[in-house]
Amino acid sequence: MIGRGHQAILEIGCGSGDLIYAIVDHAEKIVGTDISAKGVEWARNRKYLWSLSGEQSSKIEFLQMSAVQLNFPDETFDWAISTSLVEHLHPEDVSIHMHEVRRILKPGGKYLMWCPNRLGHHKDRDYHFSMLSYREWIEKLREAGFSGFRSTLTSRLPMIDAGFKVFMEQFLTALRIKLMWTHWGVRNVFLVATR
Amino acid sequence: MAEQKPVHEILKASAENRQLVTASLYDQAYELKLQNRADFRSKGRQKKLHSTVK
C-alpha cells in the first residue's frame, strides 16, 4: 500500500520499532519517534533481531519526540504512519497532532493511522483518552486540512472511499449488531488521508 | 470513589506539563513491560533447565 521509492517516511509512536525495520526498503530515510526515551532505547536495541545491511541501518533513525510537537521542517515526509497512537492522545492534543502531521507532510503526502474504533466494542483501556469512530476521526482530519479519505473494503485490501466504513459503523450500530465488526474492518479504524 | 491510577496524572496535568508527565509514565510502562518480558524468559529458561535435569 505504501509502496517503495519514497524519500522519507515517519512513524509516530513507534514503540518497539518493528514497523520501521520492516519497511526500511520503502524509502531513503525512515524515522521513528516515541514520547518515551525508554521506548526509543528499546526500538534501537531490537536492531539485532533484523538482519539489516549497513546501508539499511544507515537509513533508520529513532528519536524521542512528542506527537504534538514534531521537530521536523515543513514538508519533510512522503508518508506519516501511526498505529495505536492517536487513542493515547489527550483530547486537547488531537487537533494539534493532526495539524503537526499535516505540516511535516509534503503536498500530496499521506497519513496512515490505525486505532481502535469507539463504536467497535472495545473494553475501556487505561491509556485510551481519545476513542473516536471512523466518522469522528475523518472529521478531525478534515478540520486539520486533510482530504481523500481511504480505507480497506473489509479488514483487507482493496482500498476504497472511507465513507463506506462510516456507513458500516452506523449501519451495524443502528441494528445493534455486535458481531462481524472485525470482519467488516470497522472494529478498528484504518484510515489513509491525503494532505 | 473511583480508583485513581497513575495514568490519570496525564488528564490532570496542565497543558504545559502534559508531555513531560506522559513521557515519564510511558517510560515506566515500557520499563515494566521489558521487565515482565525478561522475567518470562528467565522462568522459561529455568523450566527448561529443570526438565533437562529431571
Q: Over the stretch A186-195, which tens digit does the pLDDT of each residue have? A: 999 999 999 9
Size of interface A-B (CB pairs under 8 A): 40
When scoring B7, B11, B41 by the number of chain A Cβ atoms within 10 A, the one with the most, hence best to mutate, is B7
Q: Tell whether omega for the bond before A107 is within 30 degrees of 0, i.e. cis.
A: no
Beta bridge partners of A110: A79, A194
Name the pLDDT band for B54 (thresholds 50, 70, 90). low
Helix extents (H) in A5-53: 18-22, 37-45
Residue B4 clears pLDDT 70, i.e. is over it = no
Question: For strand A188-194 and strand A147-152, is the pairing parallel, antiparallel, or unpaired?
Answer: antiparallel
**Does the distance separating the beta carbons of A129 and B23 come in below 8 Å?**
no
State the pTM of this model.
Answer: 0.90
- Mean per-residue pLDDT for B5-28? 88
**Does the distance separating the beta carbons of A37 and B11 come in below 8 Å?**
no
Compare CB distances from B5 to A37, A90, A126 and report the shortest one's residue.
A126
Q: A65: which 3 cell numbers?
A: 519526540
- Longest Cα separation, chain A: 55
Residue B2 clears pLDDT 70, i.e. is over it = no
Chain B stretch 15-44, residues whose beta carbon is closer than 8 A to a beta carbon of chain A: 15, 18-19, 22-23, 26-27, 29-31, 34
Compare CB distances from B27 to A37, A69, A129 and report the shortest one's residue.
A37
Q: A63: which 3 cell numbers?
A: 528519536
Helix extents (H) in chain A: 18-22, 37-45, 54-59, 94-104, 134-143, 163-174
Q: A68: which 3 cell numbers?
A: 504534538
Tell me, what's the pLDDT at A16?
93
Compare CB distances from A129 to B11, B19, B29 and report the shortest one's residue.
B11
Name the pLDDT band for B50 (thresholds 50, 70, 90). low
Residue A126 clears pLDDT 70, i.e. is over it = yes
- Mean per-residue pLDDT for A31-58? 95
- Mean per-residue pLDDT for A148-177? 92
- Longest Cα separation, chain B: 59
Q: Which amino acid is at B47?
A: K
Tell me, what's the pLDDT at A131?
93
